[in-house]
Structure 1
Amino acid sequence: MSQLLAEWREKKHREDEQLHDQLRGAVTAGRVALFTDPKVLDFQGSPVHQHWDHLLPLTGLMTLALIVLLATNVVVGIVVMTLCTLAHVFGSRHYVAWRLKFRAQAYMLTDVIQFQTLWQMGGVAMVVKGGNEPPCLAPKGDWRKFIRRNLGEGEAPRREQLANAPVPTQHVPEYTPPPVVEMEPEPDPFPFADAVQPDPVPPQPMEPEAPRTHWESIDDDPPRDAVMPPDHRPQ
């Protein structure tokens, strides 16, 4: 079990290194920008803290004011010292923030372990330039999903089988597609009742009129049942 866990961690570390390489290339190309918050990262013990960022500007300004004081008079020296004090009060925080951002970016892009260390501390944000993607804020933001969504998957991770992975003993049946049933053609629809025409009835043969045996009217011709002798007239 411990060996399986070690192999899983190693595989996860390789995936994180690939994502970190993508992020380094995007930051170098200017596609992604890193922002830092000095209020969160600038403390004693932080990997990106440098106490000289606070002491060096103050020391330089006070040295300049002292040189002006000694070179001129007290009034000019006091004026210059006042101006240096105001410059330190209002300008030192911008200088410290600039130096902190520079060191934090160099620290995070050096190694994926250092990136995760500083990301878990918070005070870091990743922003895609020229896009509508909301920034990914540390430590609650998922930097892995942010890189996959905006920079792509990169090199597809290889599917490696673990050395001590359990082998299934049951045979997995092959999937057989169901048979294709051919549908019979639909029969022709029956014609409507008004469209059905009956078969024509052949005409009945007309029987000749039976000869009459008697007169029905005085205007009728004599019946023909009697054979009339021919009229023998002398020629």
Structure 2
Amino acid sequence: MSAKKIFNRADQLAYHALQKAIEQDKLRIYLDYGKVNRPLSPVYDPWETLLPILIPILIGLIFIVAVGVIFGLLFIVGMIFVYSGVVKKRLHQRIIQRTKDCIISGYDNFINLWTFGGIVLVNAANKKIGCVAPEGDWKEFVVINYADLMIDHKEEKNDEKSDKQPKAD
């Protein structure tokens, strides 16, 4: 087991810049759905994986027994097309949103997700610039691409207030 990493000031600034970049849509998150949407992943929801497939199959079996084999099989085939065209896209959007929420929710959650892998952080302004988890260095990526978001505006305001106050001689 690896020891828990210390959350120092540089990590804090990089993480807050990452949060701001996500909130301002300056950062895109792409996922390897096969890696992220599986057991032990922090953003995995087993019901979201099971129910969209299980419910049409069960309803199709009920139609096979109640109405007829042809009608039940046609229903199942039709639901396969609906799943492929509509449901799968919505599930991917929900996984991306859950991933963003996990990243924004806290540093430890983000580090856990980053070490799990399957995430690619991409600069929205230049889609050729990205960082792949867990091999890539997300801190360096954030510093290079979002240094302007690392500035702590509270400290700037305090510096401005101290500059405006006259010094006593």
Could you tell me the TM-score, scaled by structure 1's length? 0.53
Question: Are residue 155 (structure 1) and residue 152 (structure 2) matched?
Answer: yes
Alignment of 1:39 with 2:34, yes or no, is: yes
Amino acid at match of 1:40: K
Higher relative contact order (CA 8 A, sep 6+): 2
Structure 2 Cα separation of the partners of residues 132 and 95 of structure 1: 23
- Aligned to 1:30, the other structure's residue is in SS state coil
Q: How far apart in 2 are the matches of 1:132 and 1:124?
A: 15
* Structure 1, 32-41 or 69-78: larger mean CA deviation: 69-78
Cα RMSD (Å) of the superposition?
A: 3.0
Q: What per-residue deviation string (whole Å, max 9, x for no partner) do you get for residues 166-199 of structure 1?
A: xxxxxxxxxxxxxxxxxxxxxxxxxxxxxxxxxx
Alignment pair present for 1:112 and 2:112:
no
d(CA) in 2 for partners of 1:150, 1:130: 10
Letter in 1 for 2:41: S
Q: In the aligned structure 1, how far is the partner of 2:127 from the partner of 2:55? A: 43
What is the one-letter code of the residue matched to 2:25? G
Identity over aligned residues, as a percent? 22
Of 6, 14, 17, the match for 2:12: 17
In structure 1, stretches of 5+ residues that fail to align are 1-8, 159-235
Shift of 1:133: 4.9
Query: Residues 27-106 of structure 1 correspond to what in structure 2 (within 5 A)?
Result: 27-65=22-60, 73-88=68-83, 93-106=88-101
Supply the AA of the counterpart residue of 2:130: P
Measured at CA, do residues 132 and 75 of structure 1 come closer, stay the same or move farther in structure 2, by a change above 3 Å? closer
CA shift for structure 1 position 64: 4.7
Q: Check conservation: 2:28, 2:122, Cα contact below 8 A.
A: yes
Return the offset for 1:15: 2.4
Q: Tell me if the contact between 1:65 and 1:84 (Cα under 8 Å) persists in the aligned partners.
A: no
For the residue of structure 2 that corresponds to 1:49, the secondary structure is: coil
Contact 2:43–2:99 at 8 Å: present in 1 too?
Answer: yes
| Structure richer in helix, relative to its length | 2
State the shift of 1:68 in Å.
5.7
SS of residue in 1 equivalent to 2:55: helix
Of 123, 139, 146, the match for 1:128: 123
**SS in structure 1 opposite 2:111?**
helix
Task: Provide the rounded CA distance (Å) in 1 between the counterparts of 2:23 and 2:129.
Answer: 20
Corresponding position of 1:177:
none
Listed as ranges, the gaps of 5+ residues in structure 2 are 156-169
- Per-residue displacement from partner, 1:33-73 (whole Å, max 9, x unpaired)? 11111122222222111111122112332355457667855
Aligned length: 148
Partner letter of residue 76 of structure 1?
Answer: F
Offset at residue 135 of structure 1 (A): 0.8
- Work out whether residues 54 and 92 of structure 1, in 8 Å CA contact, stay in contact via their aligned partners in 2: no
Shift of 1:83: 1.7
